[in-house]
Structure 1
Amino acid sequence: MSLNTKYDICIIGSGAGASPIAHQLSLAGAKVLVLEKGPWLTEKEFFKDELTISVHDAYNPKLINEQHVIEEQYLDENNKPFWHGEKTSDSGWSWWNGNVVGGSSNFMSGYFHRLKPIDFRLKSEFGTIKGANVADWPISYEELEPYYAKVEREVGVSGRVVKHPHQEPRSSDFPYPPVAESPISSWIDKAAADIGYHAIPVPRAILSQPAMGRKSCEYSGYCSSYGCSSGAKGSGRAALLNNAVASGNCTIISNAKVYNIASDENGKITGVHYYDKIGRKKSVTAKIYVVACQAVETSRLLLSSSSKKFPNGLANNSGQVGKNLLFTGGGVGEGDFNYADLTTEKVNQLKVVGPFINRALQDWYQISDKNFNGANNDGQAKGGTIDFLFHQNPIARSRGSQWGTDQNGNDQLIWGEALKQNLKQEFTSYKTLRFEVFNDWLPTDDCFVSLDKEVTDQWGDPVAKVRIGYHEHDLKVGEYLSQKAEKLLEALGASNISSSVSGSPSTNLMAGGCRFGNDPKTSVLNKDCRAHEVDNLYVTDGSFMPTGGSVPYTFTIYANAFRVADKIKAHWQSITV
């Protein structure tokens, strides 16, 4: 039976979870509408301007207009823990990751590690962890693997398969050769081999050669947090939405802030309400609705969309919307290479700017070490990934150079000749090699999204309140991996080696909040990412993930969205006969 609606599919959001749906359904002939809260920018607007990114946060809302409330745990005078919330307009801590068409996929680094089979069965492999809500996925790696391969082809992933102890099964090699590598990559390869490690090339969602109407990487040295001016980076906009629009079946409305999803007494969605660019209220209807606003904002929207059937928020009679929010565990570390201690050849190699280091370690993706004291005290645990990188951007590198010490050893601001000398030392005497550790952020009852009862955005709608509790086990794994990374820096001959692990989350890596599963009492979505309680609702951003794995999430979000696109296509075709 054909329904009399203008659109077949309405998608809220336009990033990695949304763009595969728009792409696949529009190419299948469905009339698709994409509602994106931010503007529609292209390569012409993506300048390599560090002040724009690092200081002005140009691609996100001003916090005075749109913000969050973040709850952190503190200790009172009696050493008892309590939770305290602070507005991000007061703290300056932005939780926005790219409010533009294509979402945060425009600004990712594009480290595209797959999850591994063990990530899909964390509870079965390692058992219950006290204080954590660990669950197995309702699908397997084998079910998702063809879609990882599809992302590599459709989005464009450059890489090279190298066998290592935790290499996941693959149905094909990468479709594009690796991007150009820094000379330092060979240093890491040799040092790793010398101490028994297995350095592996990092797959990147960056084209190493022109393809699909897009240019290849231009090696400007500005990638992470920056929009790609060449189109080489596999953002949802450059790789998928442009083609979806070109099909004639996809309409994108930018500057459209959705504030409510309406539903009838049977729980079926009847329409979406949004504010347009100048603040007018608009509505739209479709046959099938897809929410993909990134984890926090997806939970916020569903919680804000209450009705008679869903008094606590759309699809939330289980009380699970917003629960089990995920970030990524881990930390960072670094070591310095002093030019005075190196040959001229090695100094020149260190000074090469542009090509990527593209090296990672996954030797401890699964920890089996009797000296590791994890949550279950058996030496067994999920481990993680270590990635190596340089911070090329001069403003980021120079931060801290403005400080010196007075006669008493106290910090003081400096200027003039003293500042010049600090900057000269920073840029001409050494270079710092850094590493990032990625490990699981275990889901807990103390990490979730709710609505704040007092703070509203510029339209008067309640903002999301985010509690960011973490599990102590995450820190233990992060510290274990950091120690392994430090040993590689030692083997490389670095000095001033240090690392730190924190329970404070990295806000560009978020998932969970609408986990999928087989039991409607403990999950929001079924295995197809269709809401248990709402027949015409799907959630396709990272919200579906019950656990996050030990790699950045974007690759998996893309792959799952392509998988769910097939399910939505079948659903649409069944109601359009």
Structure 2
Amino acid sequence: MSSFDVVIVGSGASGGAVAYTLCKAGYKVAMLEKGRLIGREEFSKDELAYCRRDIVTPSLFDEYHVIEEKIDGKWMATPTYESGWSFWNGNIVGGSSNLMSGMFHRMHPDDFRLKSKYGPIEGANVVDWPISYDDLEPYYTMAEEVVGVSGVYKKHPFEPWRSTPDFPQPPTKENEVVKLFDKSCHTLGITPLVTPRAVLSKDSGHRSACYYSNFCGSYGCSSGAKGSSREALLFPALATGKLTLMSNTYVKYLESNEEKVTSAVIIDTLTGKESKISADIFVMAAQAHESARLLFNSKNKHHPHGLSNSSGELGKNLIFSAGGSGQGELHKESLKEISFEALMQRGFFVNRSILDWYYIDHWWDGTFKGGSVEFMFEHQNIISRARKNNEEEGKLIWGKALGERVEKRFTESKSIRFEIFNDWLPNDDCFVSVDDNYKDKYGMPVGKLRVANHPHDLKVGNYIAKKCEDVLKEMGAKNIYSSITATPPQNLIAGGCRFGDDPKTSVLNKYCQSHDIPNLYVADASFMPTGGSVAYTWTIYANAFRVADHIVEHLSKI
């Protein structure tokens, strides 16, 4: 059996941050990653490979999940190999951070005390965090510097305070459509903000600046500009000589006695060989639903209901990001403020966010927690764009008529899109468990996700969507629509190992250390009791750096 100071399961944002800190502190770390290592030169913009096939995720016939949804009043379980609905997010070294769009926002201080600030909501398991924004702020700043965040700070009522005056890099280049966007917002009394991005606008160390391919989300970055775990954290960690990166390594379960985890049972996915690896400390960083699954699958006579589950809370209060999206078309003949040629310039970002509706307090609409909005161009995927609007009166268009419509769509208009992020309220019918009736190709029970939202989520999303549509109307957009849905985004998953001060109601303590097993930590988004109204990635990075500091302190006492 090999022996390390720390074994980390997963190489994404949280695993990378922990490895970075521990290796810099001189500790010997093994990182177990099911996927393979992809070099920069291998990343392409192949829509078929990345968006329609399984080039960076497992085949659903080998590894899958079971999703439970309520249909006609009954809970129905469907394996994802039947539905095609994939909850895998970039199973490669660096994880899904390789494939993110990199739109970064800090959580607001009020997000850490959602229950105290806004009060309880019937049917929602809302609690305050055991830490505050002040506890996390230094680590948001650290992530900014280490990962590399570009932007420009502008004081705003719902922009959190910061200990540094601005971002470490200036904003990425912007399309001239921002002139039209900003003017339209100001006309409506809305404050547009420049979106911070985990994308370098200038070269930094071994990483080159953005080359503006316009294919960020769902694709790896060939220049290293994107602030993925792979680029920003794992390369520096490997350079210390303290990190052993074990790719193509599947973790079946953890072995433990009553007091501690002793080893991980692993399989080399290329050879099928099974072995064990030991360490003083084990860190779960496999994404929320998979970390909970692994802890369930590690049950034994000492922990009959799964590791770190004396509270019975393991897997419960799984959360996603509520909200939805919308879109409108800017047409050549009706465009104002800027030239059509400037609008059609490829590559540059829209880079605009709105936080004005983070908190709603209107006597006619009521008082409630709102959300944030990101504006961007429609994703550049060619096949997806060509497939839209190819029907007329319910019938598919073919031949010359289809060709003319596609050409017009690509040359005479450009779509601008918005994405809404608001809280997915934790509730009793949203959780992850395992079921021995469903097993992956390695013989282990797969994650079984029951998915249900709280009605309040849709109320908030629909309120904000109407505001966003008003912005697009002011811009002169046509064919405007929005969609607020109870269907969760598969790439934004948190909860399942909630942290808190009371071992009876939480899985982890405030340092994301197991209440039950002191040498077990969970560093990914599992710890989050509530998700805030922004994408999770920056908070995952920041919290993982915070957890890593505590692990260093823990190791110093061993």
Question: Taking structure 2 as the reference length, what is the TM-score of the superposition?
Answer: 0.98
Name structure 2 gaps, 5 residues minimum. Answer: none
1:146–1:344: structure 2 CA closer, same or farther, 3 Å change rule? closer
For the Cα contact (< 8 Å) 2:22–2:548, is it kept in 1? yes
Secondary structure of 1:93 counterpart: coil
Secondary structure of 2:317 counterpart: strand
Secondary structure of 1:257 counterpart: strand
1:385 maps to what in 2? 372
For the Cα contact (< 8 Å) 1:267–1:310, is it kept in 2? no
1:268 maps to what in 2? 260
Pick aligned residue for 1:66 from 54, 63, 69: 63
Secondary structure of 2:233 counterpart: helix
For the Cα contact (< 8 Å) 1:221–1:393, is it kept in 2? no
Query: Deviation of residue 162 (structure 1)?
Result: 1.0
Write the distance in 2 (CA, Å) between the matches of 1:330 and 1:98.
23
Query: Deviation of residue 234 (structure 1)?
Result: 0.4
Secondary structure of 1:166 counterpart: coil
Q: Amino acid of the residue matched to residue 182 of structure 1?
A: N
For the Cα contact (< 8 Å) 2:335–2:476, is it kept in 1? no
2:10 maps to what in 1? 13
Write the distance in 2 (CA, Å) between the matches of 1:168 and 1:249.
36
Q: Deviations over 1:516-568 (max 9, x none)?
A: 00011111000000000001000000000000000000000000000111000
Query: Deviation of residue 343 (structure 1)?
Result: 6.2
1:246–1:491: structure 2 CA closer, same or farther, 3 Å change rule? same
2:319 maps to what in 1? 326
Q: Deviations over 1:290-329 (max 9, x none)?
A: 0010011011000100011210101112111110001011
Cα RMSD after superposing both structures: 1.3
Write the distance in 1 (CA, Å) between the matches of 2:526 and 2:336.
50
Pick aligned residue for 1:107 from 93, 99, 102: 99
For the Cα contact (< 8 Å) 1:5–1:287, is it kept in 2? no
Query: Deviation of residue 452 (structure 1)?
Result: 2.2
**Is 2:436 the partner of 1:453?**
yes
Query: Deviation of residue 423 (structure 1)?
Result: 1.0
Q: Amino acid of the residue matched to residue 272 of structure 1?
A: A
Write the distance in 1 (CA, Å) between the matches of 2:113 and 2:443.
42
Write the distance in 2 (CA, Å) between the matches of 1:142 and 1:102.
28
Query: Deviation of residue 57 (structure 1)?
Result: 3.4
Runs of 4+ in 1 over 6 A off after TM superposition: none
2:117 maps to what in 1? 125
**Is 2:282 the partner of 1:295?**
no
Q: Amino acid of the residue matched to residue 34 of structure 1?
A: M
1:354 maps to what in 2? 347
Q: Amino acid of the residue matched to residue 149 of structure 1?
A: T
Pick aligned residue for 1:399 from 384, 387, 394: 387
Write the distance in 2 (CA, Å) between the matches of 1:438 and 1:100.
26
Q: Deviations over 1:95-118 (max 9, x none)?
A: 100000110000001111000100
For the Cα contact (< 8 Å) 2:179–2:338, is it kept in 1? no
**Is 2:28 the partner of 1:31?**
yes
2:167 maps to what in 1? 174
1:411 maps to what in 2? 395
Q: Amino acid of the residue matched to residue 109 of structure 1?
A: S
Q: Amino acid of the residue matched to residue 438 of structure 1?
A: F
1:515 maps to what in 2? 498
For the Cα contact (< 8 Å) 1:122–1:135, is it kept in 2? yes
Write the distance in 1 (CA, Å) between the matches of 2:153 and 2:336.
32
Q: Give the 5 Å matches for 1:208-287.
A: 208-264=201-257, 266-277=258-269, 278-287=271-280
Query: Deviation of residue 370 (structure 1)?
Result: 2.5
Q: Amino acid of the residue matched to residue 21 of structure 2?
A: Q
Secondary structure of 1:387 counterpart: strand
Percent identity over paired residues: 50
1:538 maps to what in 2? 521
**Is 2:466 the partner of 1:469?**
no
Pick aligned residue for 1:553 from 517, 525, 536: 536
Q: Deviations over 1:3-49 (max 9, x none)?
A: x9720010000101110110110111100000001001121111111
Write the distance in 2 (CA, Å) between the matches of 1:190 and 1:533.
55
1:375 maps to what in 2? none
Pick aligned residue for 1:496 from 466, 469, 479: 479
Aligned length: 555
Q: Amino acid of the residue matched to residue 368 of structure 1?
A: D
For the Cα contact (< 8 Å) 2:180–2:337, is it kept in 1? no
Query: Deviation of residue 345 (structure 1)?
Result: 5.0
Query: Deviation of residue 453 (structure 1)?
Result: 2.8
Q: Amino acid of the residue matched to residue 26 of structure 2?
A: G
1:97 maps to what in 2? 89
**Is 2:362 the partner of 1:369?**
yes
Q: Amino acid of the residue matched to residue 184 of structure 1?
A: V
Moved more, 216-225 or 47-56: 47-56
Write the distance in 1 (CA, Å) between the matches of 2:142 and 2:74.
46
Query: Deviation of residue 357 (structure 1)?
Result: 0.4
1:304 maps to what in 2? 297
Q: Deviations over 1:183-224 (max 9, x none)?
A: 111211111111100000000000110012210100011100
Pick aligned residue for 2:404 from 407, 421, 436: 421
Pick aligned residue for 1:162 from 150, 154, 168: 154
Q: Give the 5 Å matches for 1:200-215.
A: 200-215=193-208
Q: Deviations over 1:145-169 (max 9, x none)?
A: 0000000000000010012221211
Q: Amino acid of the residue matched to residue 335 of structure 1?
A: G
For the Cα contact (< 8 Å) 2:67–2:80, is it kept in 1? yes
For the Cα contact (< 8 Å) 2:319–2:430, is it kept in 1? yes
Secondary structure of 2:304 counterpart: coil
Query: Deviation of residue 344 (structure 1)?
Result: 10
1:453–1:492: structure 2 CA closer, same or farther, 3 Å change rule? same
Write the distance in 2 (CA, Å) between the matches of 1:182 and 1:459.
48
Write the distance in 1 (CA, Å) between the matches of 2:109 and 2:301.
41
Query: Deviation of residue 502 (structure 1)?
Result: 0.3
Name structure 1 gaps, 5 residues minimum. Answer: 76-80, 373-378
For the Cα contact (< 8 Å) 2:169–2:202, is it kept in 1? yes
Secondary structure of 2:498 counterpart: coil
Pick aligned residue for 1:316 from 290, 309, 334: 309
Q: Amino acid of the residue matched to residue 202 of structure 1?
A: T
Write the distance in 1 (CA, Å) between the matches of 2:335 and 2:5.
63
1:87 maps to what in 2? 79
Q: Amino acid of the residue matched to residue 294 of structure 1?
A: Q
For the Cα contact (< 8 Å) 1:22–1:32, is it kept in 2? yes
1:532–1:355: structure 2 CA closer, same or farther, 3 Å change rule? same
1:136 maps to what in 2? 128
